[in-house]
Amino acid sequence: MRHLLRDDDLSPAEQAELLALAARLKADPFGHKPLAGPRTVAMIFDKPTLRTQASFAAGIAELGGNPLHVNGDLAQIGVRESIEDVARVLGRQAAQIVWRTNDQARLDTMAQWAGVPVINALSDDFHPCQLLADLLTVTERKGHLAGLTAVFIGDGACNMGNSWLLAGATAGMHVVVSSPEGYQPAAGIVERAATIGQSTGGTARVEADLARAVAGADVVITDTWISMGKEAESSARLEALQPYALTGEVMAMAAPDAIAMHCLPAYRGKEITAELIDGPDSVVWDEAENRRHAQKAVMAWLQEQAGAAR
Ligand code: CP
């Protein structure tokens, strides 16, 4: 049973296949109905969301399926009953399970017991659906991925930093994370990305010096400095990460045709300036739209992998 729990669950060939499928589904949004029946896809959100719940619900409907919102507050997964029991119950109702939760281990347990594909809709460690949408967006703007340099600036120890390292290296990109001490990705993630890059031509590294990191970059990415669950650290984070704000001055150090990315929600005047996110270098609204197309590709592909029996 295949799942999408982290970015390196996909081989380079599979990632390319999914991105090509996403582009086809975007061009013909109502012409593919692999969830016809309709098959139900259960969506559970233990953490706040706008884009993810909207894009999955719309995408499931476009694929001919039935989006089932399971209220995470009511289900209290792991409190009211075990993840194993929830997985076995939902696996009898749904063809796939989409889950946004905290610990990656919770997703691993759901995948082990559900008997149907499980999709990570953001965990503390990874955001693989966002990365497929982002890579689709970069492809639309640049025509290709391999060989491009993508620089993630700010809180590099967050799920988006981790996912850019793994997914970018899988795509053959040169991924640089520029963050201060204490906000850099775990060495194991950087090493994993570098290992992936050995077969794709991609590279992965941390560069604390922002100017050196961004020089000549094709893509510059940031994310909120206060990820979900980090609210108690707000003041310390704002002070430590302020020098790594994504501004017009930072973009001026990148390639002349560089694009600025942010998965949203954004906090103007903090991790990114209003002028930049609302300006011509920004592709954030394309990223938000492409969540639907990329996730449709994931669900269609997983349904095919699982077989159409359910
Ligand atoms: N980018 C993203 O995942 O948005 P939401 O948190 O609103 O779903």
How many other C-beta atoms are found inside a 10 Å radius of the C-beta of residue 61?
15
Provide the residue count of the chain. Answer: 310
The pLDDT score that the predictor gives to residue 53 is: 98
- DSSP class of residue 186 equals P
Beta-carbon-side half-sphere exposure of residue 284 (alpha carbons within 13 Å): 22
Catalytic annotation, residues: 100, 127, 130, 223, 263, 291
**Is pLDDT above 60 for 308?**
no
Find out whether the beta carbon of 44 lies less than 6 Å from any atom of ligand 1: no
Q: Which three-class secondary structure state does DSSP give residue 59?
A: helix
Q: Which three-class secondary structure state does DSSP give residue 193?
A: helix
Q: What is the mean pLDDT of residues 204-208?
A: 98
Token pair 């949203």 is at which residue?
A: 264
CA dist 165 and 154 (Å) reads 14
0.95 exceeded by the pTM?
yes
- At 282, the pLDDT band (50, 70, 90 cuts) reads very high
CA dist 188 and 198 (Å) reads 15
Rg (CA), the chain: 19
pLDDT tens digits, 127-166: 999 999 999 999 999 999 999 999 999 999 999 999 999 9
Find out whether the beta carbon of 228 lies less than 6 Å from any atom of ligand 1: no
The pLDDT score that the predictor gives to residue 117 is: 98
β-pair partners for 260: 220, 282
Q: What is the mean pLDDT of residues 33-39?
A: 97
Beta-carbon-side half-sphere exposure of residue 212 (alpha carbons within 13 Å): 8
Helix (H) or strand (E) holding 41: strand 40-45
pLDDT tens digits, 108-118: 999 999 999 99
β-pair partners for 71: 45
Give the ligand 1 atom nearest the CA of 263.
Answer: 1
Ligand 1: centre distance to CA 160 (Å): 11
pLDDT tens digits, 165-203: 999 999 999 999 999 999 999 999 999 999 999 999 999
pLDDT averaged over every residue in the chain: 97
CA dist 37 and 40 (Å) reads 9
CA dist 14 and 242 (Å) reads 37
pLDDT tens digits, 232-246: 999 999 999 999 999
**Is pLDDT above 70 for 310?**
no
The pLDDT score that the predictor gives to residue 228 is: 79
Spatial strand order of the sheet with 203-206 comes to: 203-206, 174-178, 149-153, 219-222, 259-262
Give the ligand 1 atom nearest the CA of 264.
Answer: 1
- At 227, the pLDDT band (50, 70, 90 cuts) reads confident
Find out whether the beta carbon of 130 lies less than 6 Å from any atom of ligand 1: yes
Q: What is the mean pLDDT of residues 100-104?
A: 97
Find out whether the beta carbon of 299 lies less than 6 Å from any atom of ligand 1: no
| In contact, 303 and 35? CB cutoff 8 Å | yes
CA dist 119 and 1 (Å) reads 12
pLDDT tens digits, 57-98: 999 999 999 999 999 999 999 999 999 999 999 999 999 999
The pLDDT score that the predictor gives to residue 166 is: 99
